[in-house]
Amino acid sequence: MTDLLLQRTQHVSQTALRKGALQPLSTVIETVCEAPFQFQLRILSSLKEKENHRRIKQAEDHSTNPFKPYDPQLYVCDIGPDHICLINKFNVIENHLLLVTREFEPQTNLLNPSDFKAALMGLKEIDGLVFYNGGREAGASQPHKHLQLIPIGPAELPLAVQLSGFSDRPDSNPALPFHQAGVQLPLNLHRDADAGALWLHNHYLALLNHLHLSYTTKQTTMAYNLLLCREWLMLVPRHAESFASVSFNALAFCGCLLVITRLQSDTLKSAGIANALLSVTEPLNQKPESKSWNSNKKNKNRLKAVSKTSDSA
């Protein structure tokens, strides 16, 4: 791998798009402000509705493993000894990369130092965001273990201000409107992939323990999302994959959400996006924390009513 990962990604993307191997989803972007939070909704374009729905159906097909064998037209490079780097075939964000294990491992497996090494090798060359959907309730779309990397830096994320509030010890961040825990990274950790991978793996396990996310020697037994950039690492516990039929993956917790229709967008905005994110992360066995965006009883009842109405539609 050279120092030109992004340029290589762009070249492979352009060629794959021209040959039909890359099939991006067309979206319209809407910015939603729920003071003090800002969110970015990507709504599938109605102008390419049939094409988008066909591609979504293909992306959700689990009858074959798209990573073994992988489409050589989507191959970018090897990234570390145990991973390959592929273009996301059905991308919403341009130059969206997948860091896939060479050999099959379940997506529910614990992340290991090799996974973090691949992530840091990507972040060394692209100041972006790595994320991981750990389990079905966390929005995992494929059972073969893979991390993902998008070329959007932490300062460009909709929740950038709140996400910058982690400390140098594993803990929750009270500025964020959902259950999570994270830690600030040491300066320039990404420059030494081997040492950095061990540091990240140790703090990843500490965050799992902090959130009471149980695991065995190989697998987690509870779903979660992981987000990682050059500045911080965050884990988000999940007990539900969706709210009001809108699925959330890891990107929702940096403020970027994908919805299929305008109706789904209106439903989320009516319930409050911050409330929806809290609802899929709050533990089932304890009452929600008293937070300013979810403390009003009338607001809670509205959230429940919207969810029930949408799920029965």
The CATH number given to whatever domain includes residue 192 is 3.30.428.70
Residue 107 has pLDDT above 90, yes or no: yes
Specify the higher pLDDT residue, 159 or 298.
159
What pLDDT is recorded for position 237? 97
Confidence tier at 4 by pLDDT (50, 70, 90):
confident
Interval 169-185 mean pLDDT: 98
Helix 262-271 / helix 297-311 crossing angle, nearest 10 deg: 160
Contact predicate 82/116, CB 8 Å: no
Percent of the chain with pLDDT over 70: 84
Range name among 50-59, 77-86, 141-150, 264-273 with the lowest pLDDT average: 50-59
Confidence tier at 49 by pLDDT (50, 70, 90):
low
Residue 151: domain span = 5-311
Phi, psi of 189 (to 5 degrees): -60, -35
Residue 60 has pLDDT above 70, yes or no: no
Interval 134-156 mean pLDDT: 95
User: Model pTM?
Assistant: 0.89
What pLDDT is recorded for position 63? 74
Q: Which region, left, alpha or beta, applies to residue 216 given φ > 0 means left and ψ of -120 to 50 means alpha?
A: beta
Interval 11-28 mean pLDDT: 95
Residue 293 has pLDDT above 60, yes or no: no
Residue 135 has pLDDT above 90, yes or no: yes
**Domains: count for the chain:** 1
Range name among 98-102, 106-110, 165-169, 282-286 with the lowest pLDDT average: 282-286
Report the mean per-residue pLDDT for the chain. 89
Confidence tier at 124 by pLDDT (50, 70, 90):
very high
Confidence tier at 141 by pLDDT (50, 70, 90):
confident
Q: For 214-242, what is each residue's pLDDT tens digit?
A: 998 899 989 999 999 999 999 999 999 99
Question: HSE (CB half, 13 Å, CA atoms) of 65?
Answer: 16
Q: Which region, left, alpha or beta, applies to residue 160 given φ > 0 means left and ψ of -120 to 50 means alpha?
A: alpha
Structure tokens, 61: 């097909």
Alpha carbons 122 and 108: distance in angstroms, whole number: 22
HEC assignment per residue over the chain: CCCCHHHHHHHHHHHHHHHCCCCCCCEEEEEEEECCEEEEEEEECHHHHHHHHHHHHHHCCCCCCCECCECHHHEEEECCCCEEEEECCCCCCCCCEEEEECCCCECCECCCHHHHHHHHHHHHHCCCEEEEEECHHHCCCCCECEEEEECCCHHHCCCHHHHCCCCCCCECCCCCCCCCEEEECCCCHHHCHHHHHHHHHHHHHHHHHHCCCCECCCEECCCEEEEECCCEEEEEECCCCEECCEECCHHHHHCEEEECCHHHHHHHHHHCHHHHHHHCCCCCCCCCCCCCCCCCHHHHHHHHHHHHHHHCC
Interval 62-81 mean pLDDT: 92
Q: Which residues contact 227 (CB under 8 A, 6 or more apart)?
A: 129, 130, 131, 132, 233, 234, 236, 250, 253, 254
What value, to the nearest 5°, has the Cα angle with vertex 73 and ends 72 and 74? 90
Residue 289 has pLDDT above 50, yes or no: no
Alpha carbons 97 and 83: distance in angstroms, whole number: 12
